[in-house]
Amino acid sequence: MENVRFKGVKLYSSTEWMYKEEKVCQKVFLQSSIDYIYTEAKFENLKFSLWGRESLVEIIYYWLKEDGSFDKIVHKSYTIKFRTKGEYAVREGWGNEALGSYWSVGNYKSVVLFEGEKIAEEFFSVSQGWPKEEDNPYFDLLSVKVFEADVDISEKRYLTELKASDIRYLFVELELVNRLKTDWKGEFKLIFLSETGETKGKISLVKTRVGIEWYKKVCLGWGNDTRGTWFPGELEYRVSFMNRLIFRSTIQLR
């Protein structure tokens, strides 16, 4: 990939455009609410001299079988035509227009090739849908706490008000009681917003409930090993599960 930089791969199902041409990316999808699942691969042309160059990008979807092997679903190709220096995106999807009709519950992966060379693979899952719009069939949310810690969470400091200069990572801890008797997999997302509504940080986390496990703590955090990332002011945090908001609140940083 001389003179071309691979910038990453993401998965999404909604074609709605967000700020800066971003998509609402996921790693776990609800079967009942998806028609197509798309792979986005981004590249950067580092030289003006590549004007007119054409490169083949291939995206292959695989399904994980019960024996641990992968079965190919579809193989799609796209030609990038580099004309100026800058960023290029390839977006290819597969599915059916009828919601919930194509993708079955299970585990999958998307593989990206550039000029015949494998450069990335992203694993994703399709989970059972929600019975009703307002229901959460997976768990009951018992409590939400905020604490400061290092990246390894070796020691937690639970406080409702924190000194900004002392914070490394801010974590949101969710206490959950499981509602299902079967295994399930879901994706949690955390976003921090400044008091003016600017995005401070965000992260996603995929969790699996296995067997008879009925109680679980889920921690999501964002920050830096070096203090100085956070500044005084009101900080809002929002937690979503499978792209549905389940909790929001604020904390004061002094």
pTM over 0.85: no
Tally of CB atoms within 10 A around 57 = 19
Percent of the chain residues topping a pLDDT of 90: 52
Q: Which of 70, 85, 251 is nearest to 171 (CA)?
A: 251
Average pLDDT in the 79-104 region? 87
Report the CATH number of the 4-127 domain: 2.60.40.10
Would you give the DSSP letter of residue 102? S
Taking alpha carbons only, the member of 103, 91, 115, 116 closest to residue 23 is 91
User: Which sequence spans correspond to the domains of the chain?
Assistant: 4-127, 139-253
**Which DSSP state fits 115?**
T
The DSSP line for 37-85 is EEEEEEEEE--GGGTT-EEEEEEEEEEE-TTS-EEEEEEEEEEEE--SS
Q: Do domains 4-127 and 139-253 have the same CATH topology?
A: yes
Q: Convert the pLDDT of each residue in 190-228 to its tens digit.
A: 999 999 999 999 999 998 876 667 778 899 999 998 888
Instruction: Report the first-to-last Cα separation within the chain, whole angstroms.
Output: 47
pLDDT, one tens digit per residue, over 3-19 is: 788 899 999 999 888 88
Write down the architecture of domain 139-253 according to CATH.
Answer: Sandwich (2.60)
